[in-house]
């Protein structure tokens, strides 16, 4: 299986009514050198200024981003290129990140290469520690910047630490 760590930025709480502004993905491997970055033009007139501000972009910026269908098709091709077998979606907040990626894939390409399931990095760490109040965020090496590639990479680094220092049985 090929684990793909994903992070998204949006201008609101749900896909369809609001837009995914950008996302980053990293193939989880020892070198973390396979990455994808997509910047997407809004699909809706609605946006929450405070949510958009988290991404570091203005409304004017995002209006010049790429066509969402083009970006999602490119992402699907990237997944095919870097995965030798089944891609597994994993993220820090899979409830949020997954709903945008899944919705955008189905809406713009007709299918989701990840299938119908996702993994949550935080829950995985809580299971390792056997404590639902623990957080993995101290395991990141790359600073959390809200640039989705940086954030996905930091989360992938945390997953690698869980593998090598905590004995997590996971194959890359």
146 is catalytic: yes
Which residue in the list 107, 138, 146, 147 is annotated as catalytic?
Answer: 146
Calculate helix-pair angle for 68-82, 94-109, nearest 10 degrees: 110
Taking the CB of residue 31, how many other CB atoms lie within 10 A of it? Answer: 6
Q: Using CA atoms in the order 129, 119, 157, 166, what is the torsion angle rounded to 10 degrees?
A: 30
State the Cα–Cα distance between residues 34 and 56, nearest whole angstrom: 24
* Residue among 63, 74, 2 at smallest CA distance from 37: 74
Nearest in space to 93 (alpha carbons), one of 120, 124, 131: 120
How far apart CA 36 and CA 50 sit, in angstroms, is 25
Dihedral sign (CA 37, 118, 54, 31) = negative
Q: Provide the annotated active-site residues.
A: 146
């Amino acid at each position: 299986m090929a684990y793909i760590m994903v992070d998204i930025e949006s201008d609101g709480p749900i896909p369809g009514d609001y837009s995914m502004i950008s996302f980053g993905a990293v193939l989880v491997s020892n070198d973390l050198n396979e990455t994808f970055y997509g910047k997407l033009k809004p699909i809706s007139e609605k946006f929450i200024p405070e949510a958009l501000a988290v991404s570091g972009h203005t409304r004017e910026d995002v209006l010049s981003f790429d066509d969402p269908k083009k970006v999602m098709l490119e992402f699907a091709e990237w997944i095919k290129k870097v995965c030798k077998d089944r891609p597994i979606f994993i993220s820090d907040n899979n409830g949020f990140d997954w709903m945008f990626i899944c919705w955008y894939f189905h809406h713009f390409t007709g299918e989701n290469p990840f299938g119908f399931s996702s993994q949550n990095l935080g829950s995985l760490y809580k299971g390792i520690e056997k404590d639902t109040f623990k957080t993995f965020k101290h395991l990141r090496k790359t600073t959390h910047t809200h640039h989705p590639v940086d954030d996905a990479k930091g989360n992938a680094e945390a997953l690698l630490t869980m593998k090598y220092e905590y004995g997590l049985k996971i194959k890359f």
